[in-house]
Amino acid sequence: MHHPGSDPIKSTTLFSKESLNRLGLWTFSFLLTVSSFYRGEAVDFSTDVIPILERHCYECHNENKSKASLRLDITDGWSLGGDSGEPLIRAGQPGSSLLIQRITHSDPSERMPPEGEGLSSKEIETIQGWIRDGASLPKGGASENSFYQTDHWAFQPIQRPDVPSATSKSTQHPIDAFVAARQEDMELSFSKEADRFSLLRRLSLLMKGIPPTPEELLRFQTDRDPFAWDRWVDMTLSHPQYGEKWARHWLDVVRYADSNGFETNRERKTAWHYRDYVINAFNTDKPYDRFVHEQLAGDFFGEEAATGFLVAGPVDIVKSPDISLTLMQRQNELDDMINTTSTAFLGLTVGCARCHTHKFDPIHQKEYYGLQAIFAGVEHGERPLQKNLPADQKRKIEELQSQLTDLESEINRWKEKSTTSVKPVQSGTRPPVNARLNEETFEPVDAQAVRFTVLASTSGEPCMDELEIYDLMDLNVALSSLGTTASASGTLPGYAIHQLKHIHDGKHGNQHSWISNSAGSGWVQIDFPSTRTIQKIIWSRDRNEEFTDRLPTRYFIEAKTPASDWIRIADSENRIPHNGKPDPNAFLSLLSKEDRDQAESLLRQREELKSNIQRVSRTEMVWAGKFHQPEPTHRLYRGDPMQKREAVPPGTLQVIRPVSMASNEPEQTRRVKLAEWITAHDNPLTARVMVNRIWNYVFGRGIVGTPSDFGANGLPPTHPELLDWLADEFIRSGWSVKHIQRLILTSHTFRQSSQPNATGLAKDAEGLYLWRFTPRRLSAEPIRDSILATSGVLDPRMGGPGFYLLDVQVENVMHYFPKETFGPPEFRRMVYMSRIRQEQDAIFGAFDCPDGNQVIPNRSRSNTPIQALNLFNSPFIQQQSNILAERLRAACGEEMNDQISQAFLLLHAKMPDEIEIQMSKDLIQSEGLESFCRALYNSSRFLFVF
């Protein structure tokens, strides 16, 4: 037994880590014990506490969990809480404390402990009193929480290891030395160097995404400079096509696409600016730390398009009247930003902490919402792309602005005249127009015809389903059955349900209506067989109330008298404006016809001037997000936006030197500080993650096989020392991506042959220890680009709006259909294809091509019958085979041997051997040159990188 004055926490028999781990007890077991201390009783862990714990607690500890446990002998332990993210105790607030809620819960399935009698009233009262008095802990507890104390390799500082001693000439390169050291452990060794044709093809496909030309192959083959390979590597890395190839990798990582996704799947016409920014960043070897800064806060660092990274993911633009669903949509948008940022730059699955504390890594739920507070001011959408205009362009804009000012003055004079030209009509005394039914009454007038003129509509061409004209007997005298005739300014062509005859056929609804052929304007006229005395008109857009678009909002109605004079009998001027918005052009209806024509001409000139100013200004928009100062962010219980908990200030992860921010930190500053924290030299993840991605895209597998998960649930590195050496070298080089690539490409590890050998296959069939260059199938983009390049029709234009491999049907809900015919507009590199979420083109989408709905750190490489059918029978392949055949004829004439040799150089980067020549001749003689070309496009040698 211990005496009350002793220090129980430090006692070897009280709360030892071994005891708690052995018992694996529910979290509140410690607190029950603490309650005994609160009562001032001397308690021995073995004789007094164990019986209580055995009576009230249950086994929940998962021995296979790799996440650090929460310490319950310090304040942080119970304030952080467990997996739910809820603090176990709120000091001074027993009613709000999760512990009290669970031990007093009325539902047996929720009450703790779940088995047995539960706590006695006295025990509950003791714990409540302890919490009410501040929940103070005994002295002598630990000073740090072991939740953030981890020995996981990825969270350890980067330490540059010594390069292993070279054992041969082939291991003098630092990368080769590290690889050879691991091979020695596995009793493996390097393969010989690949032949020059294969080596240059490998370099070109992996770095540029297209094969080398026959001229390049022959030039490299005869280049005897001892530094020839280094020079060709440099030439390849400096080629503009390099950026096009490597940008595609990054666009996978950041889930880039050119549409919103979800039901409407609207296009993002200006998202391509971000794609072009990424291409340029790789081509110019932008320092990676700067690359990170600009994508998170490009509006601060002077790269507006770069923040397209933040809003590159899908967004649901259809909001729900249910507030809980709308709030959940917003949570999903923010989760996408958090998940993409953490996986792309840090290799951590922070998104797993949205609803509860991370199951594997030391990331608390509160930290997730700290990151959410950083992004809380980011909204999906476009903003102006700021550019500096040249002086002559500015002068042109000033001239146009001056013309616009003069025009506005003339229009204002007509507005002033309208107030005196006719007797003012009292405005706002009648209801606004509506789609179902509108009534116009006036003094009786003798009329030979009535004309309804539309001056404006809610959208598109105005539509009316029926124009009814009533005489003094309240008879509709406009009906065609009474001998009237209809005429109009024009009728929208191509729609049987929208014809002029429907304007007076006595039938209602959109299925029997007339639509003008002019946007926002038009007139329709009814002529009577004889003079009628009329006193009322009724008209509607859709009497059945199914459609409300195309509604006329500004109009006037005239009657033709027996003297052939047209007089105004009704108009929209004394109606309340539609949707409560005053019509800026309402003055036109108060002018005479001659004056109105002149005023409308001026209005048209004004619109043309505004359009010219906008064109000359070139104020482009870019899908790069909109920013605002956000409201406070709250932790959400189980991720439910309707269950807010405590406010959480913006902040970063505690496990890596954290950066704290004020709750009212300016929105932009939050993102800047996040970028600086990610790229800080003491952040152990950022450099490791990026060099691993580079390695992954060169060799087909990263040193860490899970490129976006460096946490405890990811795979460990196969070459940890090499990974740290590369990461340190990356930082020392000024974060140069090309420097790391140059190191890899000049190593024997990269240059070795892809040929298998029995020893290697037996001990390391996956090639994890790099005893050869492991062959792999090309992804969709280099396959298509290589086809176009070898047929000779590849369009080298860079940048700008993308092309489509889908036909687009523009509606509220967009529809996309794969194209079946292709021409020069589709012959650009595939990185410039407008990528539509949830849709794939008919041919290359089958090759595991992502659609941008989620981050893709590593593309899968499937092998399916549809892939083979697409490459053999599709119209695109047949077209390109024919074009390639014509290219061969143009270059070689009808000499079959020359055609075969040229084709093999183009597509296979090799000269054919005797067997290949004979098989090719047989195929050409029996099936034709086009079929021979199609066979080469379907060969493994063309589709794989060796």
Say what the pLDDT of residue 137 is: 59
b/e per residue 612-645 (b: at least 16 CB within 10 A): ebeeebeeeebbbbebeebeebbbbbebebeeeb
Residue pointed to by tokens 């209602």: 508
Nearest to 561 by CA among 443, 463, 460: 443
Q: Which of 519-528, 597-606, 893-902 has the lowest mean pLDDT?
A: 597-606
More confident of the two residues 74 and 60: 74
Q: Bigger pLDDT: 166 or 100? A: 100
The reported pLDDT for the residue numbered 41 is 41
Q: Which residues are CB-contacts of 783 (< 8 A; sequence separation ≥ 6)? A: 844, 847, 943
Q: How many CB atoms lie within 10 A of CB 133?
A: 12
Cα separation, 288 vs 282, whole angstroms: 9
Calculate mean pLDDT across residues 114-129. Answer: 78
Does residue 645 contact residue 635 with C-beta atoms inside 8 Å?
Answer: yes
SS (HEC) of 359-415: CCCCCCHHHHHHHHHHHCCEECCEEECCCCCCHHHHHHHHHHHHHHHHHHHHHHHHH
Output phi, psi for 422, to 5 deg: -135, 165
Q: How far apart are CA 781 and CA 245, in angstroms?
A: 9
Per the model's pLDDT, the better-predicted residue between 519 and 542 turns out to be 542
How would you class 211 by CB atoms within 10 Å of its CB: exposed for 0-12, middle for 13-18, buried for 19 or more? buried
Residue type, 642: M
Give the list of residues 6+ apart from residue 119 with CB closer than 8 angstroms, or none: 32, 56, 103, 127
pLDDT of 269 above 50: yes
Query: How much of the chain exceeds pLDDT 70, in percent?
Result: 87
Residue 79 is predicted with a pLDDT of 60
**Rounded CA separation 922/903 (Å):** 15
Longest Cα–Cα distance of the chain, Å, equals 120
Is 70 exceeded by the pLDDT of residue 42?
Answer: no
Considering only residues 722 and 47, tell me which one the structure prediction assigns the higher pLDDT: 722
**Residue 356: pLDDT above 80?**
yes
Q: Which of 50-64, 176-190, 371-385, 623-637 has the lowest mean pLDDT?
A: 50-64
Residue 113 preceded by cis peptide, ω within 30: yes
pLDDT of residue 682: 93
pLDDT at 142 over 60: no
The pLDDT, as a whole number, for residue 589 is: 66
Residue 710 has pLDDT above 90, yes or no: yes
Which position has the higher pLDDT, 578 or 767?
767
Is 127 or 296 the better-scoring residue by pLDDT? 296
The answer to whether 740 touches 727, Cβ cutoff 8 Å, is no
pLDDT at 313 over 90: yes
736-745 pLDDT, tens digit per residue, is 999 999 999 9
Query: What's the pLDDT score for residue 426?
Result: 44
Tokens, residue 452: 């309804």
Cα end-to-end distance, the chain, whole Å: 74
| Degrees to nearest 5, angle at CA 17 with 14 and 21 | 115
Average the pLDDT over 554-572 and give the result. 93
Question: In the structure, what pLDDT confidence band is assigned to residue 458 with cuts at 50, 70 and 90?
Answer: confident
Mean pLDDT of all residues in 179-186: 93
Q: Nearest 5°: phi and psi at 801?
A: -55, 150
Q: What is the pLDDT, as a whole number, of residue 614?
A: 75
Q: Quick one: average pLDDT of 529-551?
A: 93
Among 72-81, 279-288, 686-695, 697-706, the minimum mean pLDDT is found in 72-81
- Determine the 3-state secondary structure of 700 from DSSP: coil
- Between residues 398 and 24, the one the model is more confident about: 398
What's the pLDDT at 138? Answer: 53
Evaluate if residue 57 carries a pLDDT over 80.
no
Question: 440 and 536 in contact (C-beta within 8 Å)?
Answer: yes
Per mean pLDDT, which range of 175-184, 473-482, 580-589 is the poorest? 580-589
- Chain centroid offset of residue 341 CA: 12
**Cα torsion for 472, 476, 480, 482, to the nearest 10°?**
-50
Please compute the mean of the pLDDT values over residues 145-170 and round it to a whole number: 85
CA–CA distance, 622 with 386 (Å, rounded to integer): 10
Question: Which band of pLDDT confidence, cut at 50, 70 and 90, is reported for residue 686?
Answer: very high
Checking if the pLDDT of 13 tops 80, the result is no
Instruction: Name residues whose C-beta falls within 8 Å of residue 926's C-beta, 6 or more positions apart in sequence.
Output: none
Mean predicted lDDT score pLDDT of the chain: 86
The pLDDT tens digits for 198-214 are 999 999 999 999 999 99
Identify whether the C-beta of residue 694 lies closer than 8 Å to the C-beta of residue 206.
no
Compute the average pLDDT of residues 443-464: 93
Which 3 state secondary structure label does DSSP give 769? coil
Residues in the chain: 946
Q: Please report how many Cα atoms fall inside a 13 Å half-sphere around the Cα of residue 148, on the Cβ side.
A: 15
d(CA 819, CA 584): 45
Of the candidate ranges 263-272, 397-406, 837-846, the one whose mean pLDDT is the lowest: 397-406
Average of pLDDT values for 294-313?
96
pLDDT at 168: 73
pLDDT of residue 270: 95
- What is the band of 618 on the pLDDT scale with cuts at 50, 70, 90? low
Confidence at 425, pLDDT banded by 50, 70, 90: very low
Stretch 464-474: mean pLDDT? 95
Exposed / middle / buried, residue 367 (Cβ in 10 Å: 0-12, 13-18, 19+): buried
Q: By percentage, how much of the chain surpasses pLDDT 90? A: 66
**Tell me: the pLDDT tens digits for 661-672?**
999 999 999 999
What pLDDT sits at residue 85? 65
Alpha-carbon span 202 to 771, nearest angstrom = 17
pLDDT tens, 641-668?
A: 999 999 999 999 999 989 989 999 999 9
